[in-house]
Structure 1
Amino acid sequence: MLGGAATAPSIASAEPAELAAGSGGLITFEGAVNVRDLGGYWTYDGSKTKSGKMIRAEALAKLTDADVQKLAGLKVQTVVDLRTQAEVQAMGADRLPNGVPLVSRAIEDNGMFGKMYAAIQSRDPVKQQELLGDGKAEQIMRDMYKSFFTSDSLSKFGQTVKDLANTNTATLFHCTAGKDRTGWISYITLRAVGVPESIARDDYLKSNDYRAAADAALRQQLKQAGVMQNPDLLIPLQEVRDEYLDVAVQLVTEKYGDFGKFLTKGLGLDAGTILKLRKNLVG
């Protein structure tokens, strides 16, 4: 969820090396570090997820003109922005090619963005420690993943999966850093189409690799600017972790019994939609 634009001067986006084909391909942009095509993942039956169908991303507000042109070449059918209005105001609106529809589908982050922003803007190391130190940042993240199960959030997560079942070219979905709400949708969708849990989890955790350089640069910048004496307090908010994902996975079992019932009773996907999702995204 944590991006840099709201809290510090713009930093150059690091550009990680391209992923090997067939493992969820990174799409490199100058103004975004965590944009990926979810094609190329093996499923239980030996098939692979299709490329050019589902793209997970971070906010697209900092795309360059060249990035926008590159995005146009991906033939994106719809962009689904999961950010809250506060996040959009702080980070900026997406920069998109002409004619690409933008769907605003705000999924609340349980106040995570506001708490992070308040801590940074205080410029007070004592207050920052009180707000984020001693496990409090980790608890903010765990509470956010619990909030994925409100009726409003479930409805919006479910609608996004339905969009992926009906995409002709590519549907791109994103939040701010492209790691939590976006990561959960990616995890859900990959599992729903038959990708093993371990592979779906690995995709979720890869955000740490792609965001590491930009996140570290932001922390350094905040320290140099005198905004944060201990910017490492932000690390639990910047990262994805097994323990965060496990909060949501465990709630799936506690509330619905198993993943299949979560898809139908939690996300509102009927059997026909699930079959269509698999047919559309796997081949």
Structure 2
Amino acid sequence: MSRARIRLATAVMLSALAIGTLPATAQAGQAPAGPAAAATAGQHRPQAETIRQIPLQGAVNVRDLGGYRTYTGGQVRQGLVYRSDALSKLTDADLTTIAGLRLTKVVDFRIPMELQYDGADRLPPGLTATARPVSDLGLYGTLVGAISSGDPVKQEQMLGGGRAEAYMRDIYRTFVTSPENRAQFAATLRETADGRQGPMLYHCTSGKDRTGWLSYVLLRALGVPQSSAERDYLASNTFRGAYDAKVRAGLKQSGRMQNPDLLIPLQEVRQDYLDAATAQLEAEYGSFYGYLTQGLGLSLRDLVKLQDKLVR
């Protein structure tokens, strides 16, 4: 697609976003939820829509955001933007794989407490993560406290009875309401749009909430149908499921949690968590376009630059 056509398509897409006429369920091909779904349904869906996981030993939720089709007939370029979980446990073989991505920037959304417990990213020589903490409303500290107590009554009081789910919805709302969080997301999107910026990766601890929200926002800003952006978000459950189940089994076996299933709402991504954030942005900014321009402070030029760089 030529630059002129991209700009024209961008203008049409942004105008539609501004007045809310893009259909929420419009589809330009469907993205399978993960490798298993791709294997069973690939013959019925365009290969370009397959979610592209980067297989690593020390991280389970590393993906290339490229390949999605847009409303305007374009396709998100591959090899430019990656999303992931924490990179602190990468093996030597993983480092070789990461080096092959030719990253020029890594953005870390984790707060200091997460770094303290999990460690800094392990990256190829010459690459250092940029700290850009996004608040988790104390979730990590709550988890550490609940697990370390070893008290099943306290754990139930903290996480049971729908409290964990409510906590997650509150966290998602702060992605919209917190000026500090918005500033971190906006800075990352502006860097993503910069034509001088090479391939980049951003991540948090599990690569599902802070990372998942920004990926959803970026894909929708590029004109990827809402349904496809939601599938990308929900795919974290596919990629993280086995690892998270192993964590719960270990906690039960060690005696630290009598009922580790209390953690499931915190380990998973759910549509209603995402809906809490989108409902908040509509309440505060009227539309997704309003969130991009008023909430994140992105200019039309920023949005056009995103299209120019990331959509072909």
TM-score by length of 1: 0.92
Is 1:58 equivalent to 2:58 in the alignment?
A: no
Q: Displacement of 1:147 after TM fit? A: 1.4
* Aligned residue number for residue 157 of structure 1: 185
CA apart distance, 1:136: 0.7
Partner of 1:232: 261
Q: Tell me the distance in 1 between the aligned counterparts of 2:310 and 2:112.
A: 30
Q: Which moved more, 1:109-118 or 1:187-196?
A: 109-118
Counterpart of 1:84?
111
Aligned residues of 1:18 and 1:26 also touching (Cα < 8 A)? no
- In structure 2, relative to structure 1, the CA distance for the partners of 1:194 and 1:81 (3 Å cut) is same
Give how far 1:140 is off.
Answer: 1.1
Q: Normalising by the residue count of structure 2, what TM-score does the alignment of the two structures yield?
A: 0.84
The structure where helix makes up a greater share of residues is: 2
Q: What is aligned with 2:200?
A: 171
The answer for the alignment partner of 2:71 in structure 1 is 44
Q: Which stretch of structure 1 is more off in the superposition, 247-256 or 140-149?
A: 140-149
Does the CA contact (< 8 Å) of 1:80 and 1:172 recur in 2? yes
1:259 alignment counterpart: 288
Secondary structure, aligned partner of 1:218: helix
Whether the aligned pair in 2 keeps the contact of 1:77 and 1:101 (CA below 8 Å) is: no
Deviation by residue 1:135-182 (Cα, 9 ceiling, x = unmatched):
011011011111112110011111111111126431100000000000
CA distance in 2, matches of 1:93, 1:106: 13
| Structure 1 letter corresponding to 2:238 | D
CA distance in 1, matches of 2:239, 2:279: 26
Structure 1 residue corresponding to 2:242, chosen from 179, 193, 213: 213
Q: Secondary structure at the match of 1:76?
A: coil
Tell me what 1:117 maps to: 144
In 1, the alpha carbon distance for the partners of 2:145 and 2:307 equals 42
- Residue 252 of structure 2 corresponds to 223
Amino acid of the structure 1 residue aligned with 2:108: D
In the TM superposition, what is the alpha-carbon distance from 1:24 to its structure 2 partner? Answer: 2.7
Structure 2 SS opposite 1:178 = coil
| Aligned: 1:95 with 2:129 | no
Written as runs of structure 1 = structure 2, the 5 A alignment for 1:272-283 is 272-283=301-312
> 2:8 is matched with which residue?
none
Distance 2:302 2:73 in 1: 21
Q: Determine whether 1:198 maps to 2:227.
A: yes
Percent identity reads 50
Corresponding residue SS for 1:80: strand
Deviation at 1:116, TM superposition (A): 1.2
Alpha-carbon displacement from aligned partner over 1:173-228 (angstroms, at most 9, x marks no partner)? 00000000000000000000100000000000000000000000000010001010
Q: Any idea what SS the aligned residue of 1:172 has?
A: strand
- Give the root-mean-square deviation of aligned CA atoms: 1.4
Task: Report the CA distance between 1:77 and its aligned residue.
Answer: 1.1
Q: Which of 14, 19, 30 is equivalent to 2:57? A: 30
Aligned length: 269
**Aligned counterparts, 1:126-165, within 5 A:** 126-148=153-175, 149-165=177-193
Contact 1:52 1:169 (8 Å CA) reproduced = no
In structure 2, what is the Cα distance between the partners aligned to 1:101 and 1:222? 33
Unmatched tracts of structure 2, length 5 or more: 1-33
TM-superposition CA deviations, 1:247-281 (whole Å, max 9, x none): 10001110001111110100010110100011111
Contact persistence 2:105–2:198 (CA under 8 A): no
Report the more deviating stretch, 108-117 or 212-221.
108-117
Distance 1:88 1:17, change over 3 A: farther
Hey, what's the Cα distance between the residues in 2 that align with 1:258 and 1:53? 27
Aligned-residue offset at 1:17? 6.1
CA contact (8 A) 1:27 1:35 kept: yes
**Do 2:70 and 2:224's aligned partners in 1 also have CA atoms closer than 8 Å?**
yes
Secondary structure at the aligned position of 1:56 is classed as: strand
Please say if residues 174 and 182 of structure 1, whose CA atoms lie closer than 8 Å, have aligned partners that are also in contact: yes
**Residue identity opposite 1:166 in structure 2:** D
CA distance in 1, matches of 2:132, 2:238: 27
- State how far apart, in whole Å, the 2-side matches of 1:95 and 1:40 are: 27
Unaligned ranges ≥5, structure 1: 1-14
- 8 Å CA contact 1:204–1:240 kept in 2: the answer is yes
